[in-house]
C-alpha cells in the first residue's frame, strides 16, 4: 500500500510474521528494514500465520510483534476484544519499548484470529493471524515499534466473525494506542534559561503526570478563585497553609493561576458568579489577591525556582459572563493587580481571555482609554476562531475568502490583529498566552458505534496540529491544548477516548489516545524550546508555513502544510492525498545538503536539497523541516508585530 503523505510515501510494506497461538509455541516470520533493504527469515508455527510490517526504510523505523502466549480468561460478552495495557494507564509507549497487544476471544469453537494494526490513515503497520481454542482465552503478543504515532488494532475470528466492541466514546472495531516519537539526534536538545520558556500547556488532565510528560505539556491551570478557596465565607484562605495540589510538588508541570469566580457570599447577586459583576467589596477582593500572591510566590520559589514569573489569569471568557460596565471591569482588574503585585514580585497579571482572539482585540481596543493597560502585564485569550472549531471548520477556512471582512476571521488574521492592538495601546514586550482552544467533532454529530470514523479522527488531528502551529507562528508565547479525554455535553473535544463512559466523563481515567493526542506529542517534541521567527514570506495561496528557531540560536524548524476547502468536508471526506508542490529555502543559493523532515506523527526522514532549496509535496497533514541556516530563514519571514523572543 502506498502512503499518500510526503514522508509516509517512503514507508513500504514488507513481509514479516507472528506465529504461535492457542497455547502452542513456535517461531514466526521476522523482518528487519534498514537503509532501504529488507530481509525475511521464514519459520514454522503451530498453525497458519501471516503478517505484514511497515517500515520507514530510509530511517529504519519498524513495528513488529512476537508469537502470542495464551491463557484462560474470564468469560465476557464480547466474541473478541483487544487492549494494549500500560502501567501508567496512558496506552502510550516509548519508541523501541516492548508493549503488549492482548486479544481476548470467546469462540464457540476452535478458530483463528486475523488481526491488524493500522495508522491514522488506515495503512497497515503490522498484521497476522493465530489459532485460538474455544471458550474465553487471552492471547498476548509482545510488540515493539520505532514507528511513531497513533495506531488502531482491529481483529476478527476467521470462522465466527465479530469485531472489537465499542468502548465508551471509542467506536466499534478498534483498540487504539500510541508510540511516542524519538527525535534525539533529529531535533537538537536545548537549554532552558527559565522553565517558563516552555511553550505548551493543557486543560483537562491536570493530575496525570505521565500523560502530560508523554504529550510534552509543561503547564496546567491551577484554581485560586475566591469561589474555590473561600466558598463559604471570608478570611478562610490561609496562604501559609499547604493548599497546593501534590501533583505540582514535583516541579515538572507549572501552574497558570486562575482567578475568576465569586462565591455567593461575596456576590452582588447573592449567587455564585463567574465574574458577571465585581464582588461586593473590591477592597476585600484586593486583600484576598494579596494572599494569593503570597502563596504563589512561596510556591514558585519552593518548587519552581527556575521559573522566572508566576502567571495569573483574571477573567474567563467575559464575552459570555460579564454583565457590568467597562469601568467596573477595569476596576476589578485594578483590585487584582494591586493585590497580587503587593506580595508577588514576579507576578504577570493577564487577561481579558475572551473566547475568540477577535473578541479579545475588540475589548482591548474599547477599554484602553479607561486605563486598562495600567493593570495588566500580559494578554491572554482563548483561541476559538469559528462557530464550531471542528474538522469541517479548520483555522484556514476563511483565509482565502475574497471578502476581507470574512478573511479577517481566519485564525492567523485574528492573531495578527490582536498583536497589532497590543502594540498600539499596551506595554511593549508583553507576553501573549492562548489558554484554551480545542477541536471538537462537527456540530450535530454524536458518539456511536460507527462515529467517529477514521477519516474524522485524522482530520481532527491535522486541525489540532495546524491550529497550535498557527498560534505559535503568529506570535503566541504559550498555547494550551483543550482537552484531555472526551467529556459530556460537547462531542469530541477530547484528545483521548473515554473507554468507560458512552458520553464521556470529567476526570476519566480509562482512556486511549486519538490521532490528535499523538499529533500533539509530535508537535511539542518538535517546537517546544523555540522562539517564533514568523510566517514564511511569499507562500502561494493555500500554502501555510511558519519558521521557528531553537533557544540559544539553534536549529531552524519550519512547519508547512496546504489546505484546500474543496477537498476538506464532512460530506465528501477530509482528503489525506491532496497535495501541492512547494520549494522552501533552507540554505544559501548554490549549496546542497541534507535536512530532516518530520511527519505529523513524529517520524523523521532525511531529504536532500539543491541550490539551497528543498522541494516538498505538501498535504493537509503538517510536516516539520529541521535546517541550520538561520540567516536564510530570518530573511524569508515576517516577525509578528511586537513579538519579543526569549
Q: Are residues 135 and 283 in the same domain?
A: no
For residue 54, pLDDT over 90 is answered with no
Do 623 and 582 form a contact (C-beta atoms < 8 A)? no
Does a structural domain hold residue 12?
yes
Q: Are residues 235 and 167 in the same domain?
A: no
Does a structural domain hold residue 399?
no
Number of domains in the chain: 3
Q: Are residues 174 and 263 in the same domain?
A: no
Domain boundary among 326, 353, 380: 353
pLDDT digit string, tens, across residues 466-521: 999 999 999 999 999 999 999 999 999 999 999 999 999 999 999 999 999 999 99
**What's 51's domain CATH number?**
2.60.40.1930
Q: Are residues 244 and 170 in the same domain?
A: no
Instruction: Pick the more confident residue, 442 or 67.
Output: 442
Does a structural domain hold residue 202?
no
d(CA 472, CA 478): 7
pLDDT digit string, tens, across residues 539-567: 999 999 999 999 999 999 999 999 999 99
Domain boundary among 353, 377, 394: 353
Q: Are residues 61 and 163 in the same domain?
A: yes
Q: Are residues 175 and 225 in the same domain?
A: no
Does a structural domain hold residue 204?
no
SS (H, E, C) 437-461: ECCCCCCCCCCECCECCHHHHHHHH
Does a structural domain hold residue 266?
yes
d(CA 268, CA 277): 7
pLDDT digit string, tens, across residues 24-47: 322 232 222 222 222 222 222 333
Does a structural domain hold residue 160?
yes
Does a structural domain hold residue 103?
yes
Q: Are residues 568 and 617 in the same domain?
A: yes
Q: Are residues 12 and 132 in the same domain?
A: yes
Q: Are residues 310 and 225 in the same domain?
A: yes
Q: Are residues 121 and 228 in the same domain?
A: no
Domain boundary among 331, 353, 375: 353
Does a structural domain hold residue 434?
no
Mean pLDDT of 47-64: 51
**What's 626's domain CATH number?**
2.60.40.1180
DSSP class per residue in 494-554: -SEEESS-TT--TT--SEEE-HHHHHHHHHHHHHTTEEEEEEBTTPPTTEEEEEEEETTT-
pLDDT value for 448: 97
For residue 128, pLDDT over 70 is answered with yes
Q: Are residues 334 and 257 in the same domain?
A: yes
Which residue, 448, 462, 523, is CA-closest to 492? 448
> What domain range includes position 122?
8-179
pLDDT band of 87, cuts 50, 70, 90: very high
Q: Are residues 167 and 252 in the same domain?
A: no
Amino acid at each position: 500500500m502506498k502512503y499518500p503523505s510526503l514522508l509516509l510515501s517512503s514507508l513500504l510494506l514488507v513481509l514479516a510474521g507472528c506465529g504461535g497461538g492457542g497455547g502452542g509455541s513456535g517461531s514466526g516470520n521476522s523482518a528487519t528494514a534498514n537503509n532501504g533493504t529488507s530481509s525475511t527469515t521464514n519459520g514454522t508455527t503451530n498453525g497458519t500465520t501471516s503478517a505484514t510490517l511497515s517500515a520507514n526504510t530510509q530511517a529504519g523505523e519498524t513495528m513488529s510483534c512476537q508469537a502470542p502466549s495464551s491463557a484462560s480468561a474470564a468469560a465476557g460478552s464480547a466474541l473478541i476484544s483487544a487492549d494494549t495495557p500500560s502501567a501508567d494507564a496512558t496506552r502510550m509507549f516509548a519508541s523501541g519499548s516492548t508493549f503488549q497487544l492482548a486479544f481476548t476471544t470467546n469462540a464457540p469453537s476452535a478458530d483463528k484470529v486475523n488481526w491488524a494494526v493500522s495508522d491514522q490513515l488506515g495503512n497497515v503497520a503490522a498484521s497476522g493471524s493465530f489459532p485460538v481454542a474455544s471458550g474465553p482465552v487471552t492471547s498476548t503478543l509482545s510488540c515493539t515499534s520505532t514507528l511513531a504515532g497513533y495506531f488502531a488494532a482491529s481483529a476478527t475470528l476467521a470462522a465466527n466473525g465479530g469485531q472489537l466492541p465499542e468502548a465508551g466514546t471509542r467506536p466499534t472495531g478498534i483498540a487504539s494506542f500510541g508510540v511516542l516519537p524519538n527525535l534525539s539526534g533529529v531535533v537538537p536538545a536545548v537549554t532552558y534559561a527559565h522553565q517558563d520558556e516552555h511553550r505548551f500547556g493543557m486543560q483537562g488532565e491536570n493530575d496525570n503526570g505521565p500523560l502530560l510528560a508523554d504529550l510534552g505539556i509543561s503547564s496546567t491551570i491551577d484554581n485560586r478563585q475566591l469561589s474555590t478557596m473561600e466558598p463559604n465565607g471570608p478570611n478562610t484562605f490561609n496562604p501559609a497553609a499547604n493548599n497546593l495540589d501534590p501533583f505540582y510538588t514535583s516541579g515538572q508541570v507549572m501552574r497558570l493561576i486562575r482567578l475568576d469566580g465569586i462565591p455567593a457570599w461575596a456576590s452582588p447577586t447573592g449567587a455564585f458568579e463567574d465574574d458577571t459583576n465585581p464582588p461586593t467589596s473590591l477592597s476585600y477582593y484586593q486583600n484576598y489577591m494579596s494572599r494569593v500572591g503570597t502563596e504563589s510566590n512561596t510556591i514558585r520559589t519552593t518548587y519552581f525556582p527556575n521559573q522566572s514569573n508566576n502567571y495569573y489569569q483574571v477573567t474567563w471568557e467575559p464575552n459570555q459572563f460579564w454583565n457590568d460596565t467597562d469601568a467596573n471591569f477595569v476596576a476589578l482588574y485594578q483590585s487584582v493587580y494591586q493585590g497580587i503585585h503587593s506580595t508577588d514580585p514576579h507576578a504577570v497579571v493577564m487577561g481579558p481571555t475572551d473566547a475568540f482572539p477577535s473578541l479579545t482585540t475588540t475589548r482591548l481596543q474599547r477599554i484602553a482609554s479607561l486605563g486598562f493597560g495600567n493593570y495588566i502585564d500580559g494578554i491572554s485569550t482563548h483561541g476559538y476562531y469559528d462557530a464550531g472549531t471542528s474538522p469541517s471548520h479548520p483555522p484556514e477556512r476563511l483565509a482565502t475568502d475574497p471578502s476581507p471582512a470574512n478573511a479577517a476571521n481566519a485564525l492567523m488574521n485574528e492573531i495578527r490583529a490582536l498583536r497589532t492592538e497590543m502594540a498600539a495601546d499596551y506595554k511593549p514586550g508583553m507576553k501573549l498566552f492562548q489558554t484554551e482552544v480545542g477541536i471538537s467533532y462537527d456540530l450535530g454529530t454524536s458518539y456511536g458505534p460507527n462515529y467517529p470514523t477514521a477519516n474524522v479522527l485524522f482530520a481532527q488531528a491535522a486541525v489540532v496540529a495546524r491550529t497550535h502551529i498557527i498560534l505559535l507562528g503568529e506570535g503566541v508565547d504559550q498555547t494550551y491544548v483543550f482537552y484531555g479525554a472526551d467529556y459530556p455535553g460537547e462531542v469530541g473535544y477530547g484528545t483521548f477516548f473515554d473507554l468507560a463512559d458512552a458520553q464521556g466523563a470529567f476526570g476519566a481515567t480509562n482512556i486511549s489516545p486519538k490521532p490528535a493526542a499523538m499529533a500533539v506529542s509530535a508537535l511539542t517534541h518538535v517546537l517546544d524550546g523555540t522562539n517564533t521567527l514568523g510566517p514564511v514570506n511569499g507562500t502561494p495561496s493555500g500554502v501555510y508555513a511558519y519558521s521557528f528557531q531553537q533557544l540559544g540560536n539553534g536549529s531552524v524548524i519550519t512547519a508547512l502544510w496546504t489546505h484546500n476547502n474543496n477537498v476538506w468536508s464532512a460530506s465528501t471526506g477530509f482528503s489525506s492525498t491532496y497535495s501541492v508542490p512547494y520549494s522552501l529555502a533552507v540554505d544559501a543559493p548554490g549549496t546542497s545538503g541534507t535536512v530532516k523532515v518530520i511527519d505529523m506523527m513524529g517520524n523523521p526522514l532525511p531529504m536532500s536539497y539543491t541550490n539551497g532549496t528543498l522541494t516538498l509535496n505538501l498535504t493537509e497533514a503538517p510536516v516539520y523541516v529541521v535546517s541550520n541556516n538561520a540567516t536564510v530563514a530570518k530573511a524569508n519571514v515576517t516577525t509578528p508585530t511586537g513579538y519579543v523572543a526569549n
